[in-house]
Amino acid sequence: MWTQLRRLFCLRFCLTYLNESWLVVLPHGIGALLCKQMKQG
Q: Give the tens place of pLDDT for each residue, 2-25.
A: 799 999 998 898 888 877 877 788
d(CA 20, CA 29): 15
How much is the pLDDT for 26? 82
Least confident of 3-7, 25-29, 32-36: 25-29
Half-sphere exposure of 39 (CA within 13 A, CB side): 6
Torsion of CA 6, 7, 12, 18, to 10 degrees: 120
Alpha carbon separation from 31 to 4, 23, 24, 34 (Å, rounded): 41, 13, 12, 5
How much is the pLDDT for 27? 84
Q: Is the pTM of this model over 0.75?
A: no
